[in-house]
Amino acid sequence: MKMEIKEQKRDADLLRFITCGSVDDGKSTLIGRLLYDTKTIFEDQLQNIERTSQMRGEEYVNLALLTDGLRAEREQGITIDVAYRYFATPKRKFIMADTPGHIQYTRNMVTGASTANLAVVLVDARKGVIEQTCRHTFITSLLKIDHIILCVNKMDLVDYSQEVYEKIKTDFQDFISRLDIADVRYVPVSALQGDNIVNKSTKMPWYEGSTLLYMLENVHLGSDLNHVDARFPVQYVLRPQSTEYHDFRGYAGRVEGGVFKPGDEVLVLPSGFTSTVKTIETFDGPVAEAFAPMSVVITLTDEIDISRGDMLVKPNNQPEVSQDLEIMVCWMSEKPLAKGKKYIVRHTTKEAKCLVKDIRYKMNINTLHKIEEDLNIGLNDIGRITLRTTLPLFYDDYRKNSGTGSLILVDEFTNETVAAAIIL
């Protein structure tokens, strides 16, 4: 029986999701409620937050304390940093990121969203769709998060009104009609009372949809990854100096797209040499195929000079190769972006120096309008710029492949990450 349970947990797939929305919409409480109602809180954790809630004179157990770990967060009752929590049900494993709602922590929200499959966008039923709702929804769209669940929270404070819920749903649909989001779902909830989080609410008989947990457990992720365009950035060359593996030469990395199998012909970029996949090795032994996001070691039939930053692709399906890039950046530094400034660009496993050639425009995230008269891109701003790199990069459009279509910019003197970007 124990072996069966272990196998079920091992086979359960993983969903990474974020909670986002405006400050005080109840993101931390929602995650606390999910953990509490799925019984994935340790007894000592529960006792600790019960004790803390009593000391603060609160009338109920403050479940938000499960994720708001910083002292400043607990004192102010807000989320500042990204808090990650893990839990599992018999159907699926979850990594959830509680991201900040304040506009000054947009860069933290982008960091949390960069690896997510799904976004849970919270709206306070009393306030409706506001600026931060639009801001975070736009960022999730920009980062190609294909699944969004709009949670209309605090329904208990509007007497579980269907009219309020339908109005917010209509307003949100009007906004996202201008965005490219494949899958949007809606659920009225009360994170504080536990309505429609894990258990179906009896207070909203007019709502005939699923609970939040059911949606999270059953959202289909298989079509989100690119299994067509084969991309394998080489991270490390393995040459064991041992008698047993004297002639072994393997290329370690993570598959960023497509499928690789022994016998496949591959092209090495930038050299242009071709070879054939000999074997695909993993920690547990050789496998018959490798696909995103597997980390593997690929061996080839020919000895070719390959190093970190090179990429294995299929000869008839190659990425874009260029030193001139059009990108959308989320600026993360207190020093503003400057035209003509040099940075280090890190893309997949490749690193090169780059120059900011031009600043096209800054984005007004609330209206989705382009601001071309104000090109001052500062902390938490999002804008479109062009780069010139010292070495050619092998990339795809971000919407085609997020792994090869994203990069970061680093200050060459302080080594500070100044921007996260997607390639257009």
Model confidence band, residue 287 (pLDDT cutoffs 50, 70, 90)? very high
Question: pLDDT tens digit string along 74-120?
Answer: 344 333 446 678 888 889 999 888 776 555 556 677 777 778 899 99
Q: What is the mean pLDDT of residues 236-248?
A: 78
- What predicted TM-score, i.e. pTM, was given to this entire model? 0.79
Cis before 293? omega within 30:
yes
Looking at per-residue confidence, does 249 or 11 come out higher? Answer: 249
Percent of the chain with pLDDT over 70: 83
404 has pLDDT over 90: yes
Percent of the chain with pLDDT over 90: 53
φ, ψ of residue 396 to 5 degrees: the values are -125, 165
Residues 6 or more apart whose Cβ sits within 8 Å of residue 366: 131, 134, 135
Which pLDDT belongs to residue 4?
38
Q: What is the mean pLDDT of residues 58-77?
A: 48
Which pLDDT belongs to residue 12?
45
**Residue 72 C-alpha from the chain's centroid:** 25
Cβ pair 188, 155 in contact under 8 A: yes
293 has pLDDT over 50: yes
Which residues are paired to 251 by β-bridges?
237, 298
Cβ pair 130, 30 in contact under 8 A: no
Model confidence band, residue 45 (pLDDT cutoffs 50, 70, 90)? low
Closest CA to 401 of 204, 254, 243, 276: 254
Neighbours of 345 (CB within 10 A): 23
Give me the amino acid identity at 112: G
Which pLDDT belongs to residue 71?
37
Which pLDDT belongs to residue 225?
79
Q: What is the mean pLDDT of residues 379-391?
A: 93
Cis before 270? omega within 30:
yes
Count of alpha carbons within 13 angstroms of residue 165, beta-carbon side: 20
Model confidence band, residue 1 (pLDDT cutoffs 50, 70, 90)? very low
374 has pLDDT over 80: yes
Cβ pair 121, 113 in contact under 8 A: no
Which pLDDT belongs to residue 99?
72
Question: pLDDT tens digit string along 304-341?
Answer: 999 999 999 999 999 999 999 999 998 988 899 989 99
Which residues are paired to 345 by β-bridges?
352, 409
Model confidence band, residue 9 (pLDDT cutoffs 50, 70, 90)? very low
Which pLDDT belongs to residue 220?
87
Question: pLDDT tens digit string along 166-206?
Answer: 999 999 999 898 888 889 999 999 988 889 999 999 999 99
224 has pLDDT over 70: yes
Q: What is the mean pLDDT of residues 28-47?
A: 73
Model confidence band, residue 364 (pLDDT cutoffs 50, 70, 90)? confident
Model confidence band, residue 28 (pLDDT cutoffs 50, 70, 90)? confident
139 has pLDDT over 60: yes
231 has pLDDT over 90: yes
pLDDT, the chain, mean: 84
Model confidence band, residue 62 (pLDDT cutoffs 50, 70, 90)? low
| 3-state helix/strand/coil string of the chain | CHHHHHHHHHHCEEEEEEEEECCCCCHHHHHHHHHHHCCCCCHHHHHHHHHHHHHCCCCCCCHHHHCCCCHHHHHHCCCCCCEEEEEECCCEEEEEEECCCCHHHHHHHHHHHCCCCEEEEEEECCCCCCHHHHHHHHHHHHCCCCEEEEEEECHHHHCCCHHHHHHHHHHHHHHHCCCCCCEEEEEECECCCCECCCECCCCCCCCCCCCHHHHHHHCCCCCCCCCCCCEEECCEEECCCCCCCCCCCEEEEECCECEECCCCEEEEECCCCEEEEEEEEECCEECCCEECCCEEEEEECCCCCCCCCCEEEECCECCEEEEEEEEEEEECCCCCCCCCCEEEEEECCEEEEEEEEEEEEEEECCCCEEECCCCCCCCCCEEEEEEEEEEEEEECCCCCCCCCCEEEEECCCCCCEEEEEEEC
Which pLDDT belongs to residue 243?
66
Domains and CATH numbers, the chain: 14-218 (3.40.50.300), 231-313 (2.40.30.10), 320-423 (2.40.30.10)
